[in-house]
Amino acid sequence: MKNLKYLALGVVALLLASCDDKPVEYNYNDLGENTARFKVWHAVPCVSGAANNIYQMDINGVSYVNNGAAVLTRYNRAPATNLATYSTKPGDFNITLYKSSSLTKCYEQTAKLEAGESSVWIYDYTKAPAVFKEPEPPVDLQTENDTIAGCGIRVYNFIRQTTDANGNMVPVDYKIQVCMMRSDGSATNDDDYEPYGEPIAFGEATDWFVKTIKKSVFNDSGYATERFGFRKIVNGKDEGWVTYINASGKETIMRNHTVKAYFGRTYRIILTGIADSKTTPVLYDYWTER
């Protein structure tokens, strides 16, 4: 018993010794204010499949891969995690992309990045990326009514009209007005809509705007289905709904595109594709920012 007593005291002493105050150090680099943070977005019209996914991405000489899987898929973003970004020094920025598992080099261009957060859009493998200096998404979205709040939305336009005889993609020659359909979440074929923000040309984005939504599903944070439409603006005049040829070869009106809008969330919407092509038709999709 005496030996057990001494053994117990020794264990206690060891435990107490292990609880001494010691600084905990983490292996990290302080980004600081003079750092360029960014996501890379894919907006090059192409068919879906592994052959068009990006399996390696070199940024300023640093290679990014994903354990044999694609690091950037068609019409998507990298890093894919919400709020995650790459970082580098402000200034000249070189990016090289390799598609398919055979790592075929398909893109190498240079652009400039400013300090702060940006988004880098690869929209044509023969052109430098479009770089947007990203404003902070709206954060004060709650109202005093627990069934009504807001969601933040920002829209990017990379729609082409056609492909010319030389294989070059030709951007649309009109601006797009983002609209919300006044339909309480139901599909509608009428012209009951409300415009949001200023019209945007090819390669432009709206500012962040806040859409007030009325909660239709009350569990968790709650959400409502919101429907978007897109109007064609030519020389400042509204020329009706944007149309495109769908995968079945039929003309399609760009309205009733949905967002499952959760309270307090912010969303980025991408418009890309070729309007007169059923192989790579116009695509509407969205991602949660936060």
Taking a C-beta distance cutoff of 8 angstroms, is the pair 34, 111 a contact?
A: no
pTM: predicted TM-score of the whole model, two decimal places? 0.85
Residue 10 lies in a domain: no
Residue 31 in any domain: the answer is no
Residue 21 lies in a domain: no
Whether 194 is in a domain gets the answer yes
Domain count for the chain: 2
Residues 57 and 184 in one domain: no
Q: Would residue 232 count as lying in a domain?
A: yes
Q: Same domain, yes or no, for 260 and 166?
A: yes
pLDDT in tens, the chain (290 residues): 555 545 555 555 555 555 556 666 666 666 667 899 999 999 999 999 999 999 999 999 999 999 999 999 999 999 988 889 999 999 999 999 999 999 999 999 999 999 999 999 999 999 999 999 999 888 777 766 766 677 889 999 999 999 999 999 999 999 999 998 876 656 667 778 889 999 999 999 999 988 777 777 666 667 788 889 999 999 999 999 999 999 999 999 998 888 888 878 889 999 999 999 999 999 998 888 87
Is 156 found in the same domain as 108? no
Same domain, 98 and 169: no
CATH number (domain holding residue 199):
2.60.40
Neighbouring residues of 245: CB distance < 8 A, sequence distance ≥ 6: 251, 252, 275, 276, 277, 278, 281
Task: Show the tokens assigned to 240.
Answer: 């009706």
Q: Could you tell me the two tokens for 289? A: 């920012």
Alpha-carbon distance of 202 to 171, in angstroms, equals: 6
Helix (H, G, I), strand (E, B) or coil at 236: coil
What range defines the domain where residue 215 resides?
Answer: 148-288
